[in-house]
Amino acid sequence: AQSVTQLDSQVPVFEEAPVELRCNYSSSVSVYLFWYVQYPNQGLQLLLKYLSGSTLVKGINGFEAEFNKSQTSFHLRKPSVHISDTAEYFCAVTNTGGFKTIFGAGTRLFVKA
């Protein structure tokens, strides 16, 4: 069975500063990896995903993530955050060939002016 650990429950950061949200996973088989974002009072929406190929994945709103197989990590980064990036971010994993997506506990990003 696979699992996902998001190492920070909350990340406060000032506007225009860089941010990294950390995610580690465990699985005995190959996986697909995802980052979803949840704005207040809304459902989750996809930011980016890694299926195969280049380990650096670019997503919407200037976010990117890097798949590191040896460290079983998929950290999310943005070089300069905006107030509008304040939201909860979820890392998720699915076994290749499977359909059951497991979500991490979420990291609440709070961008301050």
Partner 1 sequence: DAGVIQSPRHEVTEMGQEVTLRCKPISGHNSLFWYRQTMMRGLELLIYFNNNVPIDDSGMPEDRFSAKMPNASFSTLKIQPSEPRDSAVYFCASSLDISGNTIYFGEGSWLTVV
Residues of the shown chain interacting with partner 1 in the complex, contacts defined by CB under 8 A: 32, 34, 36, 41-46, 49, 51, 90, 94-106
Nearer to partner 1 by C-beta: 45 or 80? 45
Residue 34 CB, nearest approach to partner 1 (Å): 8
* CA dihedral over 41, 42, 44, 47, signed as positive or negative: negative
Nearest residue (CB) to partner 1, 78 versus 104: 104
Smallest distance from partner 1 to CB 85, Å: 19
| Distance of closest approach, residue 54 Cβ to partner 1, in angstroms | 15
Helix, strand, or coil (residue 49): strand
Residue 4, Cβ density class (10 Å: 0-12 exposed, 13-18 middle, ≥19 buried): buried
Number of H helices and E strands in the chain, helices first, is 0, 12
Q: Please say which residue, 2 or 15, places its beta carbon nearer to partner 1.
A: 2
